[in-house]
Amino acid sequence: MRTIIHTDKAPKAVGPYSQAVCCGELIFTAGQIPLDPSTGKLVDCPFEEQVEQVLRNLSGILTAGGSDLDHVIKFTVFLSDLSNFPILNQVFEKHFTKDPPARSAVQVAALPLGAEVEIEAVALRE
């Protein structure tokens, strides 16, 4: 059985997909880019703050599904420029100080709306 997760604490889907789907004890989020949920527009700020916005968006979705960032078991990160990888690591080191989740990070040719970063997560429900 699956449950669709929707919240106003994260940007609306920009296509025919759900913000997240819960299946059993797992939550699978759609990829999140650094959109401001209140405006639906990309945030115009340094890369570090873009990653922070994406994590806030993911947090809002996970909270709506009965979880949080501490229960993420895997992140997949898409970067438009792999030279931002060290900055990504700095942000993750601030948020995941003990027993960090698994993570993959890859460079892609382009991301929706010209974003520099997109992150999706798989988390356990609390």
Q: Delineate the domains of the chain, giving CATH numbers in brackets.
A: 2-124 (3.30.1330.40)
Q: What pLDDT is recorded for position 84?
A: 98
Q: Which pTM does this prediction carry?
A: 0.96
User: What is the residue-level pLDDT of the chain in tens, covering all 126 positions?
Assistant: 899 999 999 999 888 999 999 999 999 999 999 999 999 999 999 999 999 999 999 999 999 999 999 999 999 999 999 999 999 999 999 999 999 999 999 999 999 999 999 999 999 998
The residues with which 32 forms a beta bridge, in sequence order, are 119
Burial-class residue 75 by CB neighbours within 10 Å (0-12, 13-18, 19+): buried
Of the candidates 71, 43, 78, the one whose C-alpha atom is nearest the C-alpha of residue 57 is 43
